[in-house]
């Protein structure tokens, strides 16, 4: 059996969508004491985001800045877990592999908010969990 080209090497981050950014930030940064790496508003991704380090991974807090898929998610499902991101060695190869197994990929790889390239997999094809695959290569590398 050949080795999967989608073999994930680590969890990069867990993403949590919130309504009250400041309260969420206070909980993760001050109560749980996670190290804050970055807080930013990204027009490209349509979110205000905070990245907090825990071990070799991050917790990502996101709040939608306006209309869009994340605002829709929040309206429909409420605040809470949004997605888990797995790092893979090479994103396009990993997407080929999972697509070959019948898992729908949501769009072309795009630049991640914290570098690298990211793509999402359809939650209906992953038993209900939104999964992001990411690598550490810049989009222009490919």
Q: 49 and 61 in contact (C-beta within 8 Å)?
A: yes
Q: How far is CA 136 from CA 6, 8, 61, in A?
A: 14, 13, 20
Q: Which of 40, 132, 138, 140 is catalytic?
A: 132
Question: Which C-beta is closer to Zn ion: that of 15 or that of 119?
Answer: 15
Per-residue x/- track, 80-119, Zn ion (CB under 5 A): -----x----------------------------------
Q: 6 and 133 in contact (C-beta within 8 Å)?
A: yes
Output the smallest distance, CB 14 to Zn ion, in A.
8
Q: Is 132 in the site for Zn ion (CB under 5 A)?
A: yes
132 is catalytic: yes
Q: Is 12 in the site for Zn ion (CB under 5 A)?
A: no
């Amino acid at each position: 059996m050949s080795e999967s080209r989608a073999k994930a090497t680590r969890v990069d981050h867990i993403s949590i969508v919130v309504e009250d950014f400041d309260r969420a930030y206070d909980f993760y940064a001050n109560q749980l004491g996670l190290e804050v790496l970055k807080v930013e508003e990204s027009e490209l991704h349509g979110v205000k985001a905070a990245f907090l380090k825990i071990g070799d991974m991050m917790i990502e807090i996101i709040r939608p800045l306006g209309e869009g898929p994340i605002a829709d998610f929040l309206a429909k499902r409420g605040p809470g877990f949004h997605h888990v991101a797995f790092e893979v060695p090479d994103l396009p190869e990993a997407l080929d592999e999972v697509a070959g197994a019948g898992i729908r990929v949501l769009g072309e790889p795009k630049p991640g908010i914290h570098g690298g390239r990211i793509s999402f997999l359809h939650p209906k094809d992953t038993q209900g969990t939104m999964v992001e695959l990411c690598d550490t290569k810049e989009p222009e590398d490919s």
